[in-house]
Amino acid sequence: MKVIVIDDEPLARSIVVEYLQSHSHIEIVKECGDGFEGVKAIQEHKPDLVFLDVQMPKISGFEMLELLEQMPNVIFTTAFDEYAIKAFEAQAIDYLLKPFSKERFDKALQKYTQLQKSEIPQTQGDEYAKKQIAPKEEANRIVVKTGNNIRIVPTQDILYLEAYDDYVKIYTQEGFFLKKKTMNHYESVLDSQRFLRVHRSYIINIQQITRIEMLEKDSHIAILRTGSKVPLSKTGYPKLKEMLGI
């Protein structure tokens, strides 16, 4: 059984490694100090189980999971109980609140083993996508993957967002990035003082608007600083006017 331990604190990693020593059937294939390392390690080793911290520098544990095409089995290890509900909504095996005992740790492993023996299909990846878990960091930044590279996009750099089948296109000065999310998700997590859903398929950064033009009767578009044109729906147009105070 292959295991990866991901935590930015060396002491925290060493405790997990120590607790795993009594389980001879487990092989620790990689220890990682941040989410970027974690993504690469999971893609390379395809572990059976991952012990994952939530709050880490660079990207959080939740953001790291979003970058994976296939979700691994995860046991979260963190000092913050506020993420417990999100963790279980993300179909986590268990949630260990630091500091945890060897007995509590072994119970989490036992839970994983029992789930593997059960006939219940493991649909963690699909469930994670359906739940649309939103770490609070996403109000200020969005982590995206471009090829083999990982980018952190500050939300202040976003021009607008566009629905694109099962994805959302996030437009910046550099072009667009794809995220497997929904427009409803971003409407709920982005700063409502800056971003407004002006169309079923568009959310706009109002600070990027230079003017509003009429195309025909009851049809308007917003022109951005970059020259991009974003359509305004019949309900989106009055909402935008109200937000702009015009």
Residue 81 or 226, more confident: 226
Domain limits, the chain: 2-131, 136-244
Q: Tens digits of per-residue pLDDT, 160-173?
A: 999 998 899 999 99
Looking at domain 136-244, its CATH class is: mainly beta
pLDDT tens across 200-234, in order? 999 999 999 999 999 887 789 999 999 999 999 99
**Residue 115 banded pLDDT, cuts 50, 70, 90:** confident
Residue 168's beta-bridge partner residues?
163, 179
Please provide the CATH number assigned to the domain covering 2-131: 3.40.50.2300
Q: Exposed/middle/buried for 95, CB within 10 Å: 0-12, 13-18, 19+?
A: buried
pLDDT (0 to 100) of residue 128: 42
pLDDT band per the 50, 70, 90 thresholds, residue 82: confident
pLDDT surpassing 50 at residue 126: no
Neighbour-count burial of 70, counting CB atoms closer than 10 A to its CB (0-12 exposed, 13-18 middle, 19+ buried): exposed
Tokens representing residue 222 in the block: 């917003």
Task: Output 233 or 121, whichever has higher pLDDT.
Answer: 233
Q: In the 3-class helix/strand/coil scheme, how is the chain assigned residue by residue? A: CEEEEECCCHHHHHHHHHHHCCCCCCEEEEEECCHHHHHHHHHHHCCCEEEECCCCCCCCHHHHHHCCCCCCCEEEEECCHHHHHHHHHCCCCEEEECCCCHHHHHHHHHHHHHHHHCCCCCCHHHHHHHHCCCCHHHHCEEEEEECCEEEEEEHHHCCEEEEECCEEEEEECCEEEEECCCHHHHHHHCCCCCEEEEECCEEEEHHHEEEEEEEECCEEEEEECCCCEEEECCCHHHHHHHHHCC
Distance CA 51, CA 31 (A): 10
Mean of pLDDT values over 93-101 = 91
